[in-house]
Amino acid sequence: MTIQERLLKNRQDYAQQVQDIREDWTLSLAAKNAQLNDLYVEAATHERLVGELRQDAQDRYDAGMRKLSSAPTPSIPLRIFIHSATCKLCRPCPETLR
């Protein structure tokens, strides 16, 4: 069962519970209001937690993508010299004579 299917099932279960509470003729109006309030608080908490989970997953994804797209930092400082055959500042090296 995928996450989307579970969320859809939870939403359907929530709607069914609300309908059952409203249709229960044995409960007083105060009892119905208390049960509905508890159900609303539970649903709001669930939605908040789902939002936090999605934000955390998005943050981890963004951090991973930034790490992948950044240039690697070497553990030892590298010095790159560009030699040319016409360089007057350095003497000829074996790389330029090839």
Whole-angstrom Cα distance, residue 64 to residue 85? 43
The pLDDT assigned to 68 comes to 79
Determine contact, residues 43/14, Cβ cutoff 8 Å.
yes
Give 48-58 pLDDT, tens digit per residue.
778 878 888 88
pLDDT in tens, the chain (98 residues): 666 777 778 788 888 988 998 888 888 889 998 988 888 888 877 777 788 788 888 898 998 888 877 766 656 555 555 555 555 555 555 554 55
